[in-house]
Amino acid sequence: MSQNGHPHPERVKFIYNAQFPAATAVVLNYLLNNPHFTGRQGRQQGMDAMMAFYRPLAEEFHSELSVSEIQDMARHCVERLAKQIDDLCDRYHIANPVISYSVAPTPLSSTARLETILEELVVAVRGGGVTSPKSPAPAQMDIEQGVAMDGDELGDLGDILNN
C-alpha cells in the first residue's frame, strides 16, 4: 500500500522500448517525430487513444466509481473511438465497420479478451514491465532509448492510477 492508504503507488512510470521494423516502433516514431505536432503532443495523443479504449475497464477494475458513472464514461469513450474510426475511414476511403458491429452483438469471447488485456496492462504498470514468452523483458532498460512519460503526459490515466 502507498502512504495514502491506496493499494497502488503514488506515481506510475511507463517506459516502452520498440525497435524497427516493429509496428510499435513505427507508431511511436510517428507520435514523437511528426512535423505536425511536438513529441509531447504526440505522447499525449497516444495516451488519449489508449485512454479512449481502456479507461472504463480500468475504472471498473479500480472500483471507486458507480456502475452508472462507468457506463457514462464508457459511452463517452465509445464516442471518441467512433470518431477516430470515422476519421480513418474517411482518410483511407474504406467502409466503416462500426455500422455492421452495431447490428450484431459483440461476442463474449471479445469481452473476455479485453478483460485479459486490461489485467496484463495493470500487471505491467504495477510490476514495471511486460514479460511474456514471445517477448522476454531485457535485463536492463536503457531509458535513453525508451519513451519516458511523467504524470503530465499521462492525462486522465495518471489521475486514475495516482488516486
Asked if the peptide bond before residue 21 counts as cis, ω within 30 degrees of 0, the response is: yes
Of residues 151 and 89, more confidently modeled: 89
Question: Using 50, 70 and 90 to split pLDDT, how confident is the model at 153?
Answer: low
The reply to whether 5 falls in a domain is no
Position 156 pLDDT exceeds 70: no
Position 128 pLDDT exceeds 60: no
Position 140 pLDDT exceeds 50: no
Distance CA 143, CA 123 (A): 20
pLDDT, tens digit, for every residue of 92-127? Answer: 999 998 875 555 555 556 677 677 777 776 666 666
Of 8, 24, 4, 7, the closest CA to residue 16 belongs to: 24
Domain that residue 71 falls in: 14-162
pLDDT, tens digit, for every residue of 14-45? Answer: 899 999 999 999 999 999 999 999 999 999 99
The reply to whether 2 falls in a domain is no
Position 151 pLDDT exceeds 70: no
Q: Is-above-0.85 flag for pTM?
A: no
Distance CA 145, CA 163 (A): 29
Distance CA 158, CA 149 (A): 10
The reply to whether 148 falls in a domain is yes
Mean pLDDT of the chain: 76
The reply to whether 9 falls in a domain is no
pLDDT, tens digit, for every residue of 64-81? Answer: 999 999 999 999 999 999
Helices (runs of H) and strands (runs of E) counted in the chain: 7, 2
Q: How many domains does the chain have?
A: 1
In the chain the first and final C-alpha atoms are separated, in Å, by 12
Give the 3-state secondary structure of residue 40: helix
Of 17, 7, 47, the closest CA to residue 147 belongs to: 17
The reply to whether 45 falls in a domain is yes
For strands 147-149 and 14-16, give the pairing: antiparallel
